Structure 1
C-alpha cells in the first residue's frame, strides 16, 4: 500500500483510540507507519507576519494527537481525486506524492481542522533508511462543511462487486493477480480477518472497531496492486478492447478500495 496513505490511516486510528481513552504506546517513530521517516511534523499558517509563512507547531504525530485530547472528539480521513489526463491516480499512487489527495480531519465541537501531508526526500543517504520528511499542513483550521456519508454495507457491496469484476477480468487474461483479488474477497467474509499491517499490526490496542471494518481494511490491503514495475499497473495489453476493460475494472477497484479504507477508518470516530 502507498506509504503516505497507510500513515494517515494509522494516525487517524490511533487518534480515535486516544479519544476513547486507550493507550497508544506502540504509536511512535518506531512504529511501521514511520519506519522510513526522518521526521513527521505539523505546521500551521502564521498570518501575523507581513508575509504569511508555515510555522512548525508539533514535532511528532504523537504530540499532535496529545494536544487535541481535551478539545477533539475524533479523527476522520478523506480523499479527493486529482486524476491528470493520461495519468490516473491509480497509476501515480506508485510514486511518492502521487495518487489521490488524502486529508486528515481533526473533529472539534462545531468545526474541524483539515490537514494535508507533503513528502520530501531530505536524507537520501541515511544509513538507517529514514530518508523522508513528512509535513502535515493545516489547510483549513475551521472547516464546517460535510463530506458524503459512507454507509458500511453499501461500501462493502461496491467493493465486493469491483473485486469480483476485476478477478474475472484477471482470470480471462490468465493473470496471476487474480489470486490477489480472490484473497481480498475472502477477507470480506473472514471471521478473523488478516491484521492491518506494515511489518507489524497497525491497529491500536483496545480500539473499538467492528468486524466489518476490519474486513474492509484486510481486503483493501490484499487488493492493493497499484504499485510500479511488475505490479498490476504495469500491465500492457495490445488489444484496445481488452485494454479498455482493464482500465475500467482497475479504476473501479481503485475508487472502491479507497472508499473502503475511508469507511473503515471513519467508523472508529465516535463524533456525531
Structure 2
C-alpha cells in the first residue's frame, strides 16, 4: 500500500486514542507513525497571521487536539481524475492517486490536513533507510462531502472483486497474481487477520474488531498498484476482450480498496 496513506491511517488511529483517553503512557507514539521517515512535522497556523505557523512533532499534535476542541479525527479521500490516465495507474507512488487527508472535526467545522513528502538529500546520499521529510499542512477548506463506509459491506465488496480477479488470472495464466488475490480473499473469509502482529506498530491495539483488521490486511495484500513489476505492468492478454476486462477489474478493485481503507480507518471512532 502507498506508505503515505498508511501513515494517515496511523495518524487517525493515534489521534482518536488520545481523544478517547485510550492511549497508554508511552513516549514513542511519534516514532511509530514516523516509520520510513527522517521526520514528520505538523505546521500549525498562527491565529491572526495565516503566513506564520508553529511546528509540532506528532506526539505534540496528538496532545493539542483536545485543547483545540477537536471532537474526532477521520480519514478523508476524494478521487482526482486525470485526463487519459486512470487514477490507479499512479496510486502506487507518493503523491499519486487521489487526494487523501486527515480530517479533524471541531464543533462547527472541519480541518483538513494534507501531507507533503520530500526526499532529504543528505540522508539519501548517506544511504539512510529513512530519507523522507513529511510535513502536514492545513488545507484552505473547512467542509467537504464524505461518506461513511461499513466494514461488513466493504468486506463483501472486496471479496466479490477478488473472486472475479482470481477467475481472470486463471484464464490468463497469471499464477503469481492469482496467488496474491486468493490470499487476500482467504483473510476476508476467515474474518480475522492472519497474524496478531499485523499493523502492530502502526495503529493503537484494541481499537478495531478482528473483522476490521482482516479487511485492512486483505486490502493491503490486494493493493497491487505500483510501478514496474506491479499489476499495472501486466500487458499481454489472450484477446482484446480480456484486456478490456483487465482494465474494468483494475478500476473496480482500486475503488473498493479505497473504500475499504476508509471503512477501516474510521471504524476506530
Aligned to 2:88: 90
The one of 107, 114, 125 equivalent to 2:112 is 114
Maintained 8 Å contact 1:110/1:144 = no
- In the alignment, does 2:12 pair up with 1:15? no
The one of 57, 79, 91 equivalent to 1:60 is 57
- Deviation of the 1:177 alpha carbon: 0.7
Provide runs of 4+ in structure 1 moved above 6 Å.
none
List per-residue Cα deviations over 1:218-252 (Å, max 9, x = no partner): 11011111121111111112543222111110110
List per-residue Cα deviations over 1:65-122 (Å, max 9, x = no partner): 1110342222111211112123222111222211111011112223221111111113
**Gap regions ≥5 residues in structure 2:** none
Aligned to 1:130: 130
- TM-score (ref. length: structure 2): 0.87
Maintained 8 Å contact 2:44/2:55 = no
- In the alignment, does 2:185 pair up with 1:185? yes
**Gap regions ≥5 residues in structure 1:** none
Maintained 8 Å contact 1:58/1:64 = no
- Deviation of the 1:44 alpha carbon: 4.5
Q: Structure 1 residues 240 and 10, CA, compared in 2 at 3 Å: closer, same or farther?
A: same
Aligned to 1:27: 29
- TM-score (ref. length: structure 1): 0.86
Over aligned residue pairs, what C-alpha RMSD do you find? 2.3
- Deviation of the 1:191 alpha carbon: 4.6
Maintained 8 Å contact 1:227/1:233 = yes
| Count of aligned residue pairs for this structure pair | 261
SS at structure 1 position matched to 2:169: helix
Between structures 1 and 2, the one with greater helix share:
2
SS at structure 1 position matched to 2:125: coil
Q: How does 1:1-272 map to 2 (within 5 A)?
A: 1-23=1-23, 25=26, 26-29=28-31, 31=32, 33-44=33-44, 48=48, 53=51, 55-70=52-67, 71-123=69-121, 124-140=124-140, 143-175=142-174, 176-194=176-194, 197=198, 201-207=201-207, 209-237=208-236, 239-269=239-269
Take 2:253 and 2:101, find their aligned partners in 1: how far apart are those partners? 20
SS at structure 1 position matched to 2:29: coil
Maintained 8 Å contact 2:44/2:56 = no
